[in-house]
Amino acid sequence: MSQIYDRVALIGLGLIASSMAHAIRRGGLAGEIVGTARSAETRDIARELGFCDRVVDSAAEAVKGADLVVLAVPVGAMSAVAAEIAPHLAKGATVTDVGSVKQAVIDAVGPHLSEDLHFIPGHPLAGTEHSGPRSGFAELFDNRWCILVPNGADKDATIRLRKLWEGLGSNVEEMDPEHHDLVLAVTSHTPHLIAYTMVGVADDLRRVTDSEVIKYSAAGFRDFTRIAASDPTMWRDVFLTNKDATLEILGRFTEELFALQRAIRTGDGDALHDYFTHTRAIRRSIIEAGQDTDAPDFGRVGQHEVKKS
């Protein structure tokens, strides 16, 4: 793999950015990796771990001379970061992000960037329930999708960013921001909200003790807790900034849930059986499409973590 950018600036050094740094090193994709984070503690950890060539104290300093700038902060912080870095960006640089929603990022970041820059939002569909600079690892993006939202950006700059993500191990797709936000509301945002809710309910129930919930979690509940362990700040911002699509899918969800609830209440076994047979077929399609095996690979990261400890 050959070098794609001379200098990559990573703004924010959490799970995604630290994994990008590890994977950029692995592939030799950049001449230099410069990183920064708002918290001094995070910067110190990054210096200790050494996954950046340089860790600097401000975003303004980090972006100087970088031909790729990656905004890897919570969506709610994007606007302030864009305002801070805008006067310091190198002419012709590409600015991208890794946020879970795209229209809100375009609205927050776009107005700060001048015409001589290439703003190409991105979203790697990869993550674990862990967060912070210690949680990163080079394999995070391998065989995962990364969605780019060029939204009219320069073609050559887009091809270059695509090559970076391919070098990081990802399969790359392009999408409109609105469609991205709807697809993610279905496949990620609403499932996360539901998992959070179910875990909250279980903890709330006085007649079933917490220790029982934990003890018998393998019966199905445990998979919800895994989803519900993700970074609270990131997810707060996702729901606040992808409000419309999430509320739409939630509306459909409660509608269907009420229909199943009614089937339970009225003892309509045929309706339940038909529904469950249908959803089982969807699971088969996912396995046949090669998006999962019988062995769940949500655990891939976990296995990595276990190896380390």
Which residue from 22, 35, 26 is spatially nearest to 72, judged by alpha carbons?
35
Q: How many CB atoms lie within 10 A of CB 24?
A: 27
Minimum CB separation from its own copies for residue 204, in Å? 7
Q: What angle do CA 135, 191, 272 make, to 5 degrees?
A: 140
From 65, 76, 110, 132, residue interacting with its own copies (rule: CB under 8 A): 76
Structure tokens at 158: 């887009």
Helix, strand or coil, per DSSP, at residue 35: strand
From 34, 85, 98, 227, residue interacting with its own copies (rule: CB under 8 A): 227
* Position 249 contacts its own copies (CB under 8 A): yes
Which stretches within the chain are classed as H helix? 15-27, 40-49, 59-62, 78-85, 103-109, 155-167, 177-184, 190-204, 210-215, 221-227, 232-241, 243-266, 269-288, 300-308
Stretch that binds its own copies, among 42-50, 62-70, 85-93, 262-270 (CB under 8 A): 262-270
Rounded-to-integer distance, Cα 126 and Cα 146, Å: 8
* Position 187 contacts its own copies (CB under 8 A): yes
Stretch that binds its own copies, among 10-18, 53-61, 105-113, 254-262 (CB under 8 A): 254-262
Minimum CB separation from its own copies for residue 118, in Å? 25
Minimum CB separation from its own copies for residue 217, in Å? 5
Task: CB nearer to its own copies: give 76 or 110.
Answer: 76
Stretch that binds its own copies, among 27-35, 38-46, 53-61, 217-225 (CB under 8 A): 217-225
Stretch that binds its own copies, among 18-26, 53-61, 153-161, 225-233 (CB under 8 A): 225-233
User: How many residues line the site for its own copies (CB under 8 A)?
Assistant: 105
The residue type found at 279 is T
* Position 219 contacts its own copies (CB under 8 A): yes
Which residue from 45, 27, 26 is spatially nearest to 36, judged by alpha carbons?
45
Instruction: Calculate the alpha carbon distances from 143 to 129, 168, 294 in Å.
Output: 18, 9, 17
Which residue from 144, 140, 121, 145 is spatially nearest to 130, judged by alpha carbons?
140
Minimum CB separation from its own copies for residue 89, in Å? 29
Rounded-to-integer distance, Cα 224 and Cα 200, Å: 10
* Position 256 contacts its own copies (CB under 8 A): yes
Task: CB nearer to its own copies: give 1 or 214.
Answer: 214
Instruction: Give every strand in the sheet of 145-148, ordered side by side.
Output: 122-124, 145-148, 171-174
* Position 239 contacts its own copies (CB under 8 A): yes
* Position 129 contacts its own copies (CB under 8 A): yes
Minimum CB separation from its own copies for residue 21, in Å? 21
* Position 142 contacts its own copies (CB under 8 A): no
From 3, 39, 58, 303, residue interacting with its own copies (rule: CB under 8 A): 303
Instruction: Calculate the alpha carbon distances from 265 to 122, 252, 268 in Å.
Output: 45, 20, 8
Task: CB nearer to its own copies: give 43 or 189.
Answer: 189
- Binding to its own copies (CB under 8 A) within 265-294 occurs at 265, 267, 269, 272-273, 275-280, 282-286, 289, 291-294
Instruction: Calculate the alpha carbon distances from 60 to 5, 67, 167, 273 in Å.
Output: 19, 14, 27, 59
